[in-house]
Amino acid sequence: MKAAVIDLGTNTFHLVISTIHAGKVDVLYKTNIPVQLGQGKINEGEIIPEAFERGINALKTFRTEIDKHGVDLIKATATAAVRSASNGNEFVREAAEKAGITITVISGEQEAGYIFKGVQATGLIRQKSLIMDIGGGSTEFILCSPEGQFWKKSYPVGAARLLQAYWHSDPVSAADQQAIANLFEKELHELVEKCNVYQPQCLIGSAGAFETYAAMLLPGTDLKNIAAANLDYKDFSDLLTKLILSDHATREAIPELIPLRVDMIVMASLLCRYILKNTAVKQIALSTYDLKMGILYELAAEE
């Protein structure tokens, strides 16, 4: 079977086309478009007209590619930006009418479940681990071990959401850093409690911002063709501090930072720093497999 998976993220829309046979997934084609669906009013729960149009146009582009590949099955999932938007249902309707793509809006818990399956397929989960997937509208956390997952939850602390609420100075001020830390204390207390109980040793970052960190920490590594990589804990921690203290111009000059992430990486770094400070993890790993691959491996298991 040939399957296409579309992940309609808050920042980026992704398309992966794969063949699925005998429980195996072989990627034939993948691409992404930085739609920025959450631009402007994600915290007000609205997809603004310009972002709405970009999203529909991206799906039309994906549809053309899907038709070229003669796909048997299309699975399109929408996450935080669509599920929290007052006009999210309208976007889903127009996607079906104008791009011929039927979208399923999934819950944060479903999103975390797919992320777990994607990371699990890399073979990275060899001990008690905390999986973290930083999106634009939400961040998912999964506590797990080689035996399976213990607990998972999605929180409304995505990088785009934080940027819109707290980006008042460049570099980000000490006052805004403290305000963000206060938000994390309020929102993530259950996560910290669960980590105290389960004591994960490894933090596994799923794609997105973690691929950017890995590109900076592992120069020369072809991240597009690997499923996983280990990152040095101290180097990772030092990089977070460097990014948090940097200004826009400095970050813009870093070749591994795509324009979409130049400022959002600061918010992602503040969140990662909070996790390092409030858990006992001492190992860091990257999984390039995320929600998209999780969906594909679930489809493969059903074959």
pLDDT band, residue 246 (cuts 50/70/90): very high
Residue 186 has pLDDT above 90, yes or no: yes
Provide the residue type at 216 as one letter: M
Q: Are residues 269 and 137 in the same domain?
A: yes
Summary mean pLDDT of the chain: 96
What is the CB neighbour count within 10 angstroms for residue 158? 30
Residue 71 has pLDDT above 80, yes or no: yes
Distance CA 239, CA 245 (A): 10
In a domain, 303, yes or no: no
Residue 298 has pLDDT above 80, yes or no: yes
Residue 261 has pLDDT above 80, yes or no: yes
Distance CA 133, CA 166 (A): 20
Q: Are residues 52 and 124 in the same domain?
A: no
Longest dimension (CA), the chain: 54
Q: Are residues 64 and 197 in the same domain?
A: no
pLDDT band, residue 23 (cuts 50/70/90): confident
pLDDT per residue over 33-70, tens digit each?
999 999 989 999 999 999 999 999 999 999 999 999 99
CATH number at residue 100: 3.30.420.40
Q: Are residues 120 and 58 in the same domain?
A: no
Q: Are residues 185 and 284 in the same domain?
A: yes
Mean pLDDT in residue range 82-111: 97
Q: What is the DSSP string of 182-237?
A: HHHHHHSHHHHHHHHHH---EEEEESHHHHHHHHHHSTT--GGG-SEEEE-HHHHH
Q: Are residues 113 and 101 in the same domain?
A: no
In a domain, 302, yes or no: no
Q: Are residues 154 and 282 in the same domain?
A: yes
Distance CA 262, CA 235 (A): 19
| pLDDT score, position 303 | 74
Mean pLDDT in residue range 157-172: 95
Last residue of one domain, picked from the residues 69, 90, 106: 106
Q: Are residues 130 and 96 in the same domain?
A: no
| pLDDT score, position 140 | 98
pLDDT per residue over 109-123, tens digit each?
999 999 999 999 999
| pLDDT score, position 232 | 98
- Please state, for a pLDDT cut of 70, what percent of the chain lies above it: 100
The count of structural domains within the chain is 2
pLDDT per residue over 192-240, tens digit each?
999 999 999 999 999 999 999 999 999 999 998 999 999 999 999 999 9
- Residue 192 CA: distances (Å) to CA of 73, 85, 141, 146, 186: 39, 29, 11, 21, 11
Mean pLDDT in residue range 84-96: 97
| pLDDT score, position 10 | 94
Distance CA 296, CA 298 (A): 5
pLDDT per residue over 98-150, tens digit each?
999 999 999 999 999 999 999 999 999 999 999 999 999 999 999 999 999 99
| pLDDT score, position 302 | 86
Q: Which pair of structure tokens corresponds to residue 160? A: 């785009």
| pLDDT score, position 22 | 86
The torsion angles phi and psi of 227, rounded to 5 degrees, stand at -90, -25
| pLDDT score, position 18 | 98
What is the CB neighbour count within 10 angstroms for residue 11? 23
| pLDDT score, position 90 | 98
Q: What is the DSSP string of the chain?
A: -EEEEEEE-SS-EEEEEEEEETTEEEEEEEEEE---TTTTTGGGT---HHHHHHHHHHHHHHHHHHHHTT-SEEEEEE-HHHHT-TTHHHHHHHHHHHH---EEE--HHHHHHHHHHHHHTTT--SSSEEEEEE-SS-EEEEEEETTEEEEEEEES--HHHHHHHH--SSSPPHHHHHHHHHHHHHHSHHHHHHHHHH---EEEEESHHHHHHHHHHSTT--GGG-SEEEE-HHHHHHHHHHHHH--HHHHHT-TTS-GGGTTHHHHHHHHHHHHHHHS---EEEEES--HHHHHHHHHHHH-
Mean pLDDT in residue range 2-8: 98
Q: Are residues 241 and 253 in the same domain?
A: yes
Based on the number of CB atoms within 10 Å of its own CB, is 167 exposed (0-12), middle (13-18) or buried (19 or more)?
A: middle
